[in-house]
């Protein structure tokens, strides 16, 4: 009997050893669906590709979930691409939609709710940080490397980023209760390849989508931070923890 138990234990351990665990060297892989027609950037998420693209959910950082913290308001994201653009579609539950920033190219996370899209070519230090707010405002940053994070000149970058958002609720009204907001982003491939990187099938890129969510109904002060993929801590510049992109047809 002991021999049989030992044999089963060895088989179980051997089987577990073959299961791929997510590590910094083995990150999650997010699928981007090929769009048969250009996505209309209107924030409505009614294009055909969004019915086919896989949905990923936002999470609190692991250092929060390990302490039993739970996400107050859910967020869903999808990716798509064509020869001209990389697309992001989002739907964020939000009981208090806030966006006080009145211009583009500013730190919108200081003014209210914002979604951030990070795109990084594998093997190079530089990456893009792109914002959309519920008020249809945007920012586009080019960061040469992590050691330059936080510099104001990162906001000097100009590109053809397109954004649009729609609110189910009333923007910037704390007296009522809102439902959600949706948004779309389209980043031109020509901007992502201007440094010599390739983009699309056969290329290697990493991605992160992060969210700042403020709200009257939260019990803790400040914004609730979440992301996909889940990060080890609330630092949206943990580049090795970004997911890899799989460009699907």
Q: What is the pLDDT along the chain (249 residues), one digit of tens a residue?
A: 444 444 433 333 334 333 333 444 456 999 999 999 999 999 999 999 999 999 999 999 999 999 999 999 999 999 999 999 999 999 999 999 999 999 999 999 999 999 999 999 999 999 999 999 999 999 999 999 999 999 999 999 999 999 999 999 999 999 999 999 999 999 999 999 999 999 999 999 999 999 999 999 999 999 999 999 999 999 999 999 999 999 998
pLDDT, residue 41, reads 98
pLDDT, residue 191, reads 98
**CATH number assigned to the domain with residue range 27-248, chosen from the 4 options 3.40.50.150, 3.90.1150.10, 3.40.50.720, 2.60.40.1190:** 2.60.40.1190
Q: Are 36 and 249 in contact (CB under 8 A)?
A: no
* Domain boundary assignment for the chain: 27-248
pLDDT, residue 26, reads 52
pLDDT, residue 16, reads 39
DSSP result, 124-154: SS-EEEEEE-TTS-EEEEEES-GGGTT-GGG
Q: Are 30 and 61 in contact (CB under 8 A)?
A: no
Radius of gyration of the chain (CA): 20
Q: Are 140 and 114 in contact (CB under 8 A)?
A: no
pLDDT, residue 11, reads 36
CA 225/CA 64 separation, integer angstroms: 10
Stated pTM of the model = 0.89
Helical (H) or strand (E) element with 14: helix 2-17
Tokens of residue 172, six digits: 């910037």
């Amino acid at each position: 009997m002991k021999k049989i138990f030992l044999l089963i234990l060895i088989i179980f351990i051997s089987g577990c050893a073959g299961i791929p665990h997510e590590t910094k060297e083995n990150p999650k892989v997010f699928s981007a669906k090929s769009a048969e027609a250009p996505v209309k950037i209107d924030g409505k998420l009614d294009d055909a590709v969004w019915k086919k693209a896989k949905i990923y959910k936002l999470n609190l950082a692991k250092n929060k979930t390990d302490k039993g913290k739970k996400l107050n308001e859910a967020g869903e994201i999808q990716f798509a691409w064509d020869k001209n653009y990389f697309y992001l579609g989002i739907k964020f539950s939000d009981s208090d939609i806030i966006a006080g920033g009145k211009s583009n190219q500013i730190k919108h996370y200081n003014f209210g709710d914002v979604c951030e899209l990070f795109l990084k070519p594998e093997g190079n230090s530089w990456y893009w940080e792109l914002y959309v707010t519920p008020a249809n405002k945007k920012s586009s940053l080019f960061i040469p490397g992590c050691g330059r994070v936080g510099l104001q000149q990162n906001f000097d970058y100009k590109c053809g980023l397109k954004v649009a958002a729609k609110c189910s609720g009333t923007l910037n009204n704390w007296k009522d209760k809102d439902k959600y907001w949706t948004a779309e982003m389209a980043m031109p491939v020509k901007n992502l390849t201007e440094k010599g990187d390739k983009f699309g099938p056969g290329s290697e890129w990493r991605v992160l989508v992060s969210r700042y969510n403020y709200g009257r109904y939260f019990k803790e002060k400040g914004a609730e931070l979440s992301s996909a993929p889940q990060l080890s801590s609330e630092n949206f510049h943990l580049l090795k923890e970004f997911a890899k992109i799989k460009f699907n047809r």
